[in-house]
């Protein structure tokens, strides 16, 4: 057991890094779905915007200025995009998931194509800021410092989001909206504002995840689809609308991805979607699912 | 199917008309016209290779194939109310099967196609058995996962499928020992089987079985309480749709210089098929065929002119379709030519005597669902008026 652990130590760390990134990406998607029943297939495109913003502002040069600017710009892009998506899906409320899925899928296609027109189809690398740009020794293994930092950022964000959702009155409002939207509306809260806020916040996190994931995954076409599928798998496994579910789903999928690829390279992709199918068969609403989304 | 099917509407259309005073009566009068239109379209399609250049002919063949895929998806989305994000999986399974059979066994028609239909139906049975147990967005997710799994299989099983490079070197299909090498003959071959596939979906949709599927789409608890088994009906619908998608895939592999790649089973193909259904109008069957032709036209004809950015236009079409074409092209035609029918919007429900009792204002999708279900189930005649165009005003796709 100890030996196995030592052999797979790097993979486990990689899994944690992927898990952190996935949590940042998926928590917004999960809240938007859980609260407002909006299935946002454009979430991957927001990540892609973030990734290319990161590439644009760091430009292959390792600098804190560029990286922090990229984070700020991506956050602004994400907030605005989230508000736009929130307004755009407003007329579709009550028309079922398929219409929302089609609309957001259309937006995702347009965004991905526009990005490919601007930046071309080449794979672009994003360099980590100075200090995080090198490898360090962790228990006798050489490991990129940036990924350790990513794990840290993911952990901090997870705690922050959990605190906001569980301990503040704003969080109580969000949780109440997840469990009974109509009741919240009946006590005099404008649902659309709550929805727009959560949508903007979730989209901002997705765009930030794009910048943060840049040094690991780079910026390339098709990345939006990959991360969207991963995020969907995460929130379905975790249960829609649950922050705890999104966290556990991200960590599980991170490990499945990383350990699976390291140990069973031929079956890694099967394991991912196999895990999804398995969870849906055993627990059709996800591991921490509530009643939402089954309509 | 152990349950007693509902009485056939073909036997008793007048009963349906007198029962509700609903559109069924006018539907019957329109039937000869519909038949004539279908015949005219068929003749036009059959005459294409005589007048059109080979390149355009093979393009039309691709449209027919994609249209068959879209129509089979419509049986799921529009008729049964199961929006699938993984329907291309069965299309791809059919394409690979037909290609492999033609390459390693025999290219004599219709053996590769039959194999494609058989294997796709098997795949749809095995996976649908799991998928149709879930509802709503979970069905979307599960079909997505199944589609991805099958695509991964095609990518990693490279000894058989050719992996990422795809399956190439598929011989031309043989009819009576002669390989079909001319584009026109291949087109006719595709046309014959595409029409057969379309006819099958149409017949299923109009049968009492199709009416039961609509009933399940509109109000599953009521159908269950009437003694139907929604699981069996949905599974049967899923398998039929998968088998016809497999037929379309088999036709893809029978094209000249056919190349079957993992992308043919992927998320993008599934999403484009869903777009075709939405643009065409879910539940109408003929609408998605037109939608599919439009999608292929944008992707393959205008795409190259736009530097390969045809997807940009397709994305815009997605967005416009969702806002402006709520019931698709078929919905446009319905409002245009059938003023007397129910308006295609849930803002104004059709005048229906059974509705008076439930006169509460309708806001949420769930309540809408129940109310429609009540209409659909209140009189079995209404359920039986199974002409696609006489559906309740909003197809099942809107309330998944």
CB pairs under 8 A between A and B: 140
**The pLDDT of residue B11:** 38
Closest by CA to B205, choosing from B309, B110, B303, B287, is B287
Contacts 24+ apart (CB under 8 A), B335-339: B338/B23, B338/B26, B338/B389
The separation between CA A89 and the C-alpha centre of its own chain, rounded to angstroms, equals 20
Give the C-alpha separation, B376 to B153, whole Å. Answer: 42
Q: Percent of chain A scored above 90 by pLDDT? A: 12
Domain assignment present for B385: yes
Tell whether B355 is covered by a domain. no
Exposure class string for B3-31: b at 16+ Cβ within 10 A, else e:
eeebeebeeebebbbebbebbbbebbebe
CA distance A18 to B13: 60
Is residue B168 included in any domain, yes or no? yes
Cβ A264 vs Cβ A271: under 8 Å: yes
Neighbours of B372 (CB within 10 A): 23
Give the nearest chain A residue to B268 (CA atoms): A225
Residue in B77, B136, B146, B221 to test binding to A, most A beta-carbons within 10 Å: B136
Backbone angles phi, psi at A110, to 5 degrees: -60, -45
Q: What is the distance in angstroms between the Cα of B136 and the nearest Cα belonging to chain A?
A: 5
From residue B19, alpha-carbon distances to A10, A122, B328 in Å are 71, 64, 29
Name the minimum distance, in Å, from the CA of B323 to any CA of chain A.
8
Alpha-carbon distance A223 to nearest alpha carbon in chain B (angstroms)? 14
Q: What is the pLDDT of residue A216?
A: 84
Higher pLDDT, A214 or B346: A214
pLDDT at B377: 38
Look up the domain containing B82 and give its range: 13-339+363-399
Residue B389: per-residue pLDDT = 42
Residue B317's CB is within 10 A of a number of other CB atoms, namely 20
DSSP label of A186: H
β-partners of residue B179 are: B174
**Nearest by Cα to B332 from B316, B350, B340, B324:** B324
| Cross-chain residue pair A273–B152, CB shorter than 8 Å | yes
Helices of type H across A121-222: 145-167, 169-179, 181-186, 191-217
Question: Is B41 part of any domain?
Answer: yes
Say if CB B179 and CB B112 are below 8 A apart.
Answer: no
Backbone angles phi, psi at B260, to 5 degrees: -105, 120
Give the residue on B whose Cα is nearest the Cα of A222.
B268
CA distance B54 to B256: 11
Asked if residue B3 belongs to a domain, the reply is: no
Using a CB-CB cut-off of 8 Å, the residues of chain B touching A233 are 145
Look up residue B277 and give its two tokens.
């259904």
Find the closest chain B residue to A118 by CA distance. Answer: B309
B319 vs A107, A112, A281: nearest CB: A107
Distance of alpha carbon B222 from alpha carbon B213, whole angstroms: 12
In chain B, which residues have their Cβ closer than 8 Å to the Cβ of A295?
135-136, 365-366, 369, 400
What is the average per-residue pLDDT within A208-221? Answer: 87
- CB count in 10 Å sphere of residue A153: 17
The angle at the Cα of B84, spanning B270 to B333, to the nearest 5 degrees, equals 85
Chain A positions in Cβ-Cβ contact with residue B316 (cut-off 8 Å): 106, 110
Question: Is B358 inside a domain boundary?
Answer: no
Is B351 part of any domain? no
- Whether residue B398 and residue A95 make contact (CB cut-off 8 A), yes or no, is yes
Residue indicated by tokens 């569980």: A166
Tokens standing for A15? 């899994």
Check if the beta carbon of residue B233 is closer than 8 Å to that of residue B216. yes
Tokens 């649950």 correspond to what residue?
Answer: A242
CA distances from A129 to A17, A63, A76, A170 (A): 17, 5, 21, 34
Q: Which residues of B touch A276 (CB under 8 A)?
A: 141-142, 145
Chain B: closest CA distance from residue A99 (Å): 6
Please list every residue in chain A whose beta carbon sits closer than 8 Å to the beta carbon of residue B126: none
Give whole-number Cα distances, B163 to A260, B86, B120, B267, in Å: 20, 20, 19, 17
> For the stretch B145-156, what's the b/e string if a residue is b when 16 or more beta carbons lie within 10 angstroms of its beta carbon?
bbbbbbbbbbbb
Contact A269 B148 (CB under 8 A): yes
pLDDT at residue B21, rounded to an integer = 36
Report the alpha-carbon distance of residue A204 to residue A25 in Å, rounded. 9
Chain A residues in contact with chain B using a Cβ-Cβ cutoff of 8 Å: 33, 39, 91-92, 94-99, 101-103, 105-110, 112-114, 116-117, 182, 225, 229, 232-233, 236, 240, 266, 269-270, 273-274, 276-277, 280-281, 284-285, 293-295
CB A98 within 8 A of CB B400: yes
Q: Do A91 and B323 touch (CB under 8 A)?
A: yes
Q: Tokens 């709550």 — which residue?
A: A194
pTM: 0.77
Residue B308: its pLDDT value, please?
A: 66
Count other Cβ atoms within 10 Å, centred on residue B311: 19
What's the average model confidence in pLDDT over A74-83?
92
Specify the pLDDT at position B390: 41
Chain A residues in contact with B369 by the CB 8 A cut-off are 295
Q: Which of A52-56, A227-231, B166-170, B207-211 has the highest mean pLDDT?
A: B207-211
Residues of chain B with pLDDT under 50: 1-29, 338-400
What's the CA gap between B338 and B223, in Å, rounded? 29
CA distance B83 to B134: 11
CB A31, CB A202: distance < 8 Å: yes
Specify the pLDDT at position B32: 63
- How far is the C-alpha of B338 from the C-alpha of B194, rounded, in Å? 29
Residues A273, B149: C-beta atoms closer than 8 Å: yes
Strands A141-144 and B174-175: unpaired
Domain count, chain B: 1
Strand partners, B108: B174
CATH of the domain at B147: 1.10.3470
Give the pLDDT of residue B388: 41
Question: Does B319 contact A233 at a Cβ distance shorter than 8 Å?
Answer: no
CA distance A75 to chain B (A): 24
pLDDT, residue B90, reads 95
Say if the Cβ atoms of A106 and B309 lie within 8 Å: no
Task: Mark yes or no for CB contact A295/B145 under 8 Å.
Answer: no
**What pLDDT digit, counting tens, does each position of A94-145 carry?**
777 778 888 888 888 889 888 888 888 888 888 888 877 777 777 777 788 8
Examine residue B169 and state whether it is found in any structural domain, yes or no. yes
ipTM of the prediction? 0.77
């Amino acid at each position: 057991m100890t030996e196995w652990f030592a052999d797979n130590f790097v993979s486990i760390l990689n899994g944690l890094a992927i898990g952190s990134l996935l949590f940042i990406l998926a928590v917004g998607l999960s809240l938007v779905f859980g609260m407002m029943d909006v299935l946002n297939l454009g979430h991957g495109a927001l990540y892609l915007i973030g990734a290319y913003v990161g590439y644009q502002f760091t430009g292959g040069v390792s600098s804190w200025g560029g990286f922090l600017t990229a984070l700020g710009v991506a956050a602004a892009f994400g907030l605005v995009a989230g508000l736009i998506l929130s307004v755009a899906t407003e007329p579709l409320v009550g028309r079922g998931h398929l219409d929302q899925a089609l609309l957001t899928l259309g937006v995702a296609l347009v965004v991905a194509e526009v990005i490919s027109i601007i930046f071309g189809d080449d794979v672009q690398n994003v360099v980590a800021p100075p200090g995080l740009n090198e490898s360090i020794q962790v228990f006798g293994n050489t490991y990129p410092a940036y990924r350790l930092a990513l794990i840290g950022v993911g952990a901090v964000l997870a705690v922050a989001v959990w605190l906001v959702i569980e301990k503040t009155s704003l969080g109580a409002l969000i949780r109440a909206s997840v469990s009974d939207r109509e009741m919240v509306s009946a006590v005099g809260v404008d649902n659309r504002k709550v929805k727009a806020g959560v949508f903007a916040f979730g989209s901002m996190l997705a765009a930030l995840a794009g910048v943060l994931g840049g040094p690991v995954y780079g910026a390339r076409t098709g990345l939006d689809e990959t991360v969207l599928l991963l995020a969907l798998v995460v929130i379905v496994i975790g249960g829609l609308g649950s922050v705890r579910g999104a966290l556990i789903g991200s960590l599980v999928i991170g490990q499945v991805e990383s350990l699976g690829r390291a140990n069973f390279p031929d079956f890694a992709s099967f394991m991912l979607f196999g895990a999804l199918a398995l969870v849906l068969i055993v627990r059709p609403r996800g591991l921490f699912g509530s009643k939402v989304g089954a309509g | 199917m152990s349950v007693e099917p509902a009485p056939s509407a073909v036997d008793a259309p007048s009963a349906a008309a007198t029962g509700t005073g609903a559109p069924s009566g006018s539907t019957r009068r329109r039937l000869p016209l519909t038949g004539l239109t279908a015949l005219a379209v068929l003749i036009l399609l059959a005459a294409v290779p005589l007048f059109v250049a080979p390149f355009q002919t093979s393009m039309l063949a691709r449209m027919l194939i994609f249209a068959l895929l879209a129509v089979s998806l419509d049986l799921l989305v529009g008729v049964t109310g199961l929006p699938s994000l993984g329907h291309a999986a069965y299309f791809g399974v059919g394409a690979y099967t037909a290609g492999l059979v033609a390459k390693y066994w025999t290219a004599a028609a219709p053996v590769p196609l039959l194999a494609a239909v058989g294997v796709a139906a098997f795949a749809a049975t095995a996976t649908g058995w799991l998928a149709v147990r879930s509802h709503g967005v979970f069905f979307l997710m599960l079909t997505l996962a199944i589609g991805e799994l099958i695509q991964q299989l095609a990518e990693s099983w490279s000894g058989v499928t050719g992996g990422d490079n795809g399956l190439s070197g598929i011989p031309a299909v043989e009819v009576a020992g002669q390989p079909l090498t001319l584009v026109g003959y291949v087109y006719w071959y595709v046309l014959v089987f595409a029409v057969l596939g379309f006819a099958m979906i149409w017949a299923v949709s109009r049968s009492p079985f199709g009416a039961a599927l609509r009933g399940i789409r509109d109000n599953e608890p009521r159908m269950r309480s009437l003694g139907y088994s929604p699981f069996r009906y949905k599974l049967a619908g899923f398998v039929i749709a998968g088998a016809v998608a497999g037929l379309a895939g088999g036709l893809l592999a029978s094209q000249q210089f056919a190349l079957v790649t993992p992308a043919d089973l992927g998320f993008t193909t599934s999403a484009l098929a869903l777009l075709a259904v939405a643009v065409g109008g879910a539940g109408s069957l003929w609408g998605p065929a037109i939608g599919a032709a439009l999608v292929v036209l944008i992707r393959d004809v205008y795409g190259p002119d736009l530097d390969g950015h045809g997807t940009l236009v397709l994305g815009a079409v997605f967005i416009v379709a969702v806002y402006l074409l709520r019931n698709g092209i078929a919905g446009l035609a319905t409002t245009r030519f059938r003023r007397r029918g129910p308006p295609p919007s849930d803002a104004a429900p059709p005048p229906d005597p059974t509705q008076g009792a439930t006169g509460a204002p309708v806001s949420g999708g769930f309540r809408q669902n129940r109310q429609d279900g009540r209409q659909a189930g209140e009189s079995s005649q209404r359920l039986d008026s199974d002409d696609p165009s006489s559906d309740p005003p909003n197809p099942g796709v809107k309330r998944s």
